[in-house]
Amino acid sequence: MAKSNFGKFTGRKTNAQIKEEFRQEKKKAREEKNAYFEKKKAEEKKLRPQDTRFKKQEPRGKGFETRNEKPETGNKRPSRFEKEAPAKQVKKTVKEDTRFKAEKAPEPITFRKEKSDAEMPLNKYIAHCGVCSRRDAVELIKAEKVKVNGTVVTEPGHKIQDNDAVIVNGKKIAIQKELVYILLNKPKDYITTSDDPQGRKTIMDLMRGVSTNRIYPVGRLDRNTTGVLLLTNDGELTQKLSHPSFQVKKVYEVTLDRPLEKGDFEKMMNGLTLEDGFIAPDALGYADPKNKKIVGIEIHSGRNRIVRRMFEHLGYDVKGLDRVLFANLTKKNVDRGRWRYLNEKEVRLLKFLNKSFVKKKEEKKGKNRDEE
């Protein structure tokens, strides 16, 4: 079982290999383009009508002859003193060449809302506003820190209407209309929070130029952990990606103080029992077979400091921890400390991530209840 997972993190391509692959792809695209134009040219040649101006014409009938004239044929050229009759223009039926015309820009993609904002439970409304998760919203409501239309509400299931005014901790909140999705390649020595009372550097110090300040990280990375971090003001997506039932995949590159021994490798693959319960990685392998201090690990658990605690449980000291993948997002083409907006395709994939898996899980639970 362990050997099958070794190759998951090996086989990294060098810069030379990447450039050669890009060169070959470019060459292939050029050949396909030339073949396409040659095919179009051949099709147009077939469709073009034959030019009959210089073909031999049949002699004119008797009604057109005179005493001194002989029947004219198409081969006879008029003398230089005779006025040449204007030739009839041949109407070409060749299709218009549209190869080099600019294509229409694709229409913007809009994401369909599954449910209306009206009649929304209070804790869900607070989460959609990007204040916190639904679970944390329940705690805020029970702590009497939430007012609806000036009245304190302590019931998380209280229904919110479109025209209701909701205040949390003295600040009026509203569902975000312009949703923002940002991928950050987090560097070291930055904490994953919007502000810090101790004055330490936060990830928000790196987010200069963002159109809105009300964005929050999805999950957390330790101060010394680097790599992929998603920030958004989409409370619904944040709740989804943070919930354990969606089993969001995360891949880390771990640098240890000493090589990972084979026995410890097997122990970790079989699972460990930590102070907060049992945990086993989804996959484990050496990122570099020549350097067994560097290990790749794939998990879907969202427990606090879980990767560090797994290796520390076996007596290893984690010198470096870098998240290289979160859900379907990687830090490719994003330098350390830099960020970029997600494109529409990436957002769509995140919204439908593991949806079929969760649906099957819910159907299975429903069947078990019916059997009971």
Tokens 């991928």 locate to 183
According to the model, what pLDDT value does residue 44 have? 79
* pTM of the shown model: 0.56
According to the model, what pLDDT value does residue 322 have? 95
Q: Catalytic one among 136, 189, 195, 222?
A: 222
According to the model, what pLDDT value does residue 215 have? 82
Indicate the average pLDDT of the chain.
77
d(Cα 246, Cα 214) in Å, to the nearest integer? 25
Assess contact for 182 and 339: CB atoms under 8 A.
yes
Residue 247's DSSP bridge partners are none
For 154-186, what is each residue's pLDDT tens digit? 998 899 887 888 999 888 888 766 788 999 999
Q: Which pair of structure tokens corresponds to residue 140?
A: 């805020």
Question: What residue ranges of the chain have pLDDT lower than 50?
Answer: 1-2, 61-69, 71-72, 74, 81-83, 90, 92-116, 357-358
According to the model, what pLDDT value does residue 101 have? 42
d(Cα 214, Cα 171) in Å, to the nearest integer? 13
DSSP string for 62-123: GGG--SS-PPP-TTPPPPTTSPPPPPPPPPP-PPP--TTSPPPPPPPP-PPPSS-STTEEHH
According to the model, what pLDDT value does residue 27 have? 85
Q: Is the dihedral of CA 206, 257, 283, 332 positive or negative?
A: positive
Residue closest to 340 by CA, chosen among 350, 351, 328, 331: 331
According to the model, what pLDDT value does residue 195 have? 77
Q: Which domains does the chain have, with CATH numbers?
A: 120-173 (3.10.290.10), 181-355 (3.30.2350.10)
According to the model, what pLDDT value does residue 274 have? 93
**Residue 288 designated active-site:** no
For 92-129, what is each residue's pLDDT tens digit? 444 444 443 433 433 333 444 444 455 788 888 887 77
